[in-house]
Amino acid sequence: MLFHLLYGTLSDDIGWLRVFRYPSTRLLAAAITALLLSFVIGPWFIERLKSRQIGETIRADGPETHKKKAGTPTMGGSLILFCLAMSALLWCDLRNEYVVLALIVTISFGAIGFADDYQKVVHKNKAGISGKLRLFLEFAIAGGAMAYLFYSDVMPAEVRLQLQVPFTNFYTHDVSMPAWMYSIFGAVVVVGTANAVNLTDGLDGLAIGPSIMNAGTFMVFAYIAGVSTTLVVGGGNEVTIAEYLHVARIPGVEELAIFAAALFGAGIGFLWYNTYPAQVFMGDVGSLGIGAAIGMCAVLTKNELVLLIVGGLFVVEALSVIIQTGVYKATKKLNPATGKMEGKRMFRMAPIHHHYEKLGWDEPKIIVRFWLVSALLAMVALGTLKMR
C-alpha cells in the first residue's frame, strides 16, 4: 500500500519518492518494517499469550530436559505471519500475482497450523487435528495454487513448465513436464517443505534460524530471476542478470524478493524471543506457514531442486522421521518377554535433533551447529548461480 501511495500517487509531486519503484529499495524497507513490527508488538503479544494461558504441552515420550519448557507460550508463529503479511502488503506491488499467491498459501497454511495448535492448547488434544485432514487441506490449498499458476498465463510460457536443474544452463538443460504433473510436483514441494519445517521445530530457535537463511537465499534468487537490469557482454550484446547467469528469467517475480525480505525480517524479529531459552514457541501456525512460504518461493522462482540444498537441514530432519518409522515397522515383532510388539530404531529418537539430545549434546550446541550447517548449505545454493 505504501508502494502505491509513495510511487504511484506522490512521486509526480515529490521526485525523490521514485526511488520506491526499485525492488532493491523496497526489499530493504520490507525487512526493516517486519523486524521493527516484531520488536514493537512482540512483548505485548507474548504477555497476551501468557494471560490466556496458551502454553506448550510437552510430549510424554520426549527428552527429560524438555519438561521444564511446559507452559511456555506457544502459537508465536502468529506474530511472524502478521509481521510478514503487514510488511508485504505495505511494500509489495499488490497487482503482482506471484506475491498474492505466496501470501494466500502462506496464510492458509498458517490457518491450518492455528487450528492444530488450538486443538492442542484449548482442547488439550496433543495429537491436534487429524493427520489425514491436515494433509488433505494442505494439498487442496497448494494444489489449487499450482493449478492456477501452471494452467494460467501468470508465468511466461517458455519457463512455466520447465524444471530448472542446479549446476546446468537453464536454456540448454531444462526438463519439461505436463501441466498436471508440474501441478502435483509443485504441491508436493510446498506441502513437503511445510511439514519438514514443522518437524524441525523441536528446539528453541532451531527452525527459525534456517528459515531466515532460506528466506534470504530466495530473496536473492527472486531478485535475479525477475529484475530487468541488463549487462553488456561480449560482442556488445545486452542480457539480463538471469540470462547472464543462465537461470530462468521470470519477469515480475522480483516482487517476490520483497515478500522473502519481509519473511527474513519477521524471522529475525521472532528469533529475538525464540532464542534459547525461548520466551515463546512458534507452534504449528508458524512452522506450517513459514514452510509454505519457503516452498512457494522455490516454486515461483523455479528453484524447486535447489530447495533440496538450501533447505537441506529440513530435508534431513524429515528423512530421519521417515527412516525411523520405516525401520521400526519393518522390524516390528512380538517380544515374548514383554508381550508387546517392538521394533528396532535407527536413531535414539526422531527427528534427528532429538537423537543428539539423547547422545548428551546440550541444546544450545545442537541449535548453533545446525544453524552453521544451514548457513553452509545456503552458501552452496547461492554458488549454483555461478557454477553452471
pLDDT tens, position by position, 112-165 = 999 999 888 877 777 778 889 999 999 999 999 999 999 988 999 889 999 999
Q: Which residues of the chain have pLDDT under 70?
A: 1-4, 6-17, 20, 55-70
Q: For residue 4, what pLDDT is reported?
A: 63
- Amino acid symbol at 167: F
Q: Kindly report, residue by residue over 11-23, the tens digit of the pLDDT.
A: 556 655 677 678 8
Burial, 54: exposed, middle or buried (Cβ in 10 Å; 0-12, 13-18, 19+)? buried
In a domain, 322, yes or no: no
Q: For residue 13, what pLDDT is reported?
A: 61
- Amino acid symbol at 210: P
In a domain, 31, yes or no: yes
Peptide bond into 277 cis (omega under 30): yes
DSSP 8-state symbol, 55: B
The tally of domains found in the chain comes to: 1
Residue 198 belongs to domain spanning = 24-44+76-314
User: Cα–chain-centroid distance for residue 73?
Assistant: 22
In a domain, 327, yes or no: no
- Residues 6 or more apart in contact with residue 46 via CB below 8 angstroms: 73, 76, 273, 279, 280
Backbone angles phi, psi at 333, to 5 degrees: -155, 165
- Rounded alpha-carbon distances, angstroms, from residue 366 to 308, 354, 357: 21, 9, 8
DSSP 8-state symbol, 177: -
In a domain, 346, yes or no: no
In a domain, 388, yes or no: no
Backbone angles phi, psi at 128, to 5 degrees: 70, -155
Q: For residue 289, what pLDDT is reported?
A: 97
In a domain, 169, yes or no: yes
Nearest residue to 169 via CA among 227, 250, 247, 224: 247
Task: For Cα atoms 139, 155, 162, give the angle at the middle one, nearest 5 degrees.
Answer: 75
In a domain, 242, yes or no: yes
Q: For residue 55, what pLDDT is reported?
A: 62
What burial letters (b/e) apply to 340-373, b meaning 16+ CB within 10 Å?
eeeeeeebebbbbbbbbbeeeeebeebbeebbee
In a domain, 200, yes or no: yes
For residue 240, list its beta bridge partners.
Answer: 230
